[in-house]
A = this chain, B = another copy of it.
Amino acid sequence: MKTLQVSLAERSYPIFIGEKLLADAELLRAHVPARQVLLISNTTVAPLYAQLLKKAFAGCELVEAIIPDGEQHKNIATASRVWDVLVANRFSRDAMIVALGGGVVGDLAGFAAACYQRGIDFVQIPTTLLADVDSSVGGKTAVNHPGGKNLVGSFHQPRAVIIDVSLLVSLPEREYRAGLAEVIKYGLICDAEFFSWLEASMPRLLAREASALIEAIHRSCALKAGIVSRDERETGERALLNFGHTFGHAIEAVTGYTEWLHGEAVGTGMLIAASLSHRLGMLSDADLKRIGAVLAAAGLDRQPPQCGAARALEYMRVDKKVKSGRVRLILLEQIGRAIISADYADAALDATLLQYFG
């Protein structure tokens, strides 16, 4: 088991990464020291793993809130139902929430925890690769709004994150590869050496070898934790974590959030962002090719919806990174070095959107 500390002053918390952690009752109880525990999971994950967790919490008042699986249920109505459950069971301010699931469960459970009685503690037990390396670190919680993703949310740090790589064996192939997009992202934006490691280790990762997974997740979380601890409120550096996301959000929105997995959209979004960086004269030919090759190896080279450049741009404008009316973009200077910029040639953006969205 590897351990990592996310340093955020009095809201610091540990991340544990290892095999069979869900069977480690001692670890679980040590980090969920509450009398009342609400387990939030979904209809896909709960049948597989909830029983294991219940054993660990045999001595507590454990209540379950099992939500339907799918991004479309990450909304205010579902959060309200969670609050209904907490109120109906008279959970007090020192109750805790355990989120067992992917990003949807984690984001929603975190938001529910953030707002119940103005904030109760919660622990993340992510069950997807995407959640392992992305949504479980950093304290961003949210639900979607019909007008856009994550538009209603809060910053609320978990008390601990417990990443059990053994859970990844049950993950469908598409979801697993989508998770790799975020892993690749960390190499691209801030760690060229890690990107090289990923190029070399892709076969082991695709085979879901535990040791490769622990290494990839540990490095991803460490990179994210470093960025988040330096810029919790996303006033600067943290925005780099959105690399590929502005284009990705457009893809997801255009297709109604149903056809593309988030990680798939981010994968293609990173390719578009890299392509634009190249068109702007920032990124080299060689780097662009390496990026394309790794994304293809991970099966993340899907073609975007042909909705037209204008419509894609419209959806990009709803993104949270718009400042004073202008879309700020995260671009690559080279593999391992990203910048945030509102100072780019519109013609290059238009040409890139035309190339990818038709």
User: Measuring CB to CB, which residues of chain A are less than 8 angstroms from any residue of chain B?
Assistant: 35, 76, 80, 83-84, 86-88, 90, 92-94, 111, 114-119, 140-142, 145-148, 150-155, 317-318, 320, 322-325
Contacts and interface: CB of A to CB of B under 8 A. Distances in A.
Contact of A115 (B86, B115, B147, B325): B115
Given A154-B114, A155-B118, A90 B317 contact: yes
A118 B138 CA distance: 13
A285 to B, nearest CB: 35
A154 B119 contact: yes
Contacts of A80: 76
Contacts of A146: 87
A323 B317 CA distance: 51
29 contacts: A76-B76, A76-B80, A83-B145, A84-B145, A84-B147, A87-B145, A87-B146, A87-B148, A88-B147, A90-B318, A90-B322, A94-B323, A94-B324, A111-B115, A114-B154, A115-B115, A115-B152, A115-B153, A116-B151, A116-B152, A117-B151, A117-B153, A118-B140, A118-B141, A118-B142, A118-B150, A118-B153, A118-B155, A119-B154
Contacts of A142: 118
Contacts of A317: 90
Contacts of A153: 115, 117-118
A38 to B, nearest CB: 14
A154 B118 contact: yes
Contacts of A115: 111, 115, 152-154
Q: For the complex formed by this chain, how many copies does it contain in all? A: 2
Give the secondary structure class of A's interface. Answer: mixed
Contacts of A119: 154-155
A146 B116 CA distance: 13
A90 to B, nearest CB: 6
A320 B87 CA distance: 11
Given A83-B152, A116-B151, A118-B150, 10 more contacts: A87-B146, A92-B322, A92-B323, A94-B323, A114-B154, A116-B152, A117-B151, A117-B320, A118-B155, A119-B154
Nearest to A153: B118
A11 to B, nearest CB: 11
A80 B75 CA distance: 11
A87 B145 CA distance: 8
By CB atoms of chain B within 10 A, which of A88, A141, A152, A154 has the most?
Answer: A152
A323 B36 CA distance: 11
Nearest to A147: B87
B118 A83 contact: no
A63 to B, nearest CB: 14
A342 B115 CA distance: 26
A87 B155 contact: no
Nearest to A152: B115
A94 B235 CA distance: 11
A312 to B, nearest CB: 16
A325 B300 CA distance: 52
Nearest to A88: B147
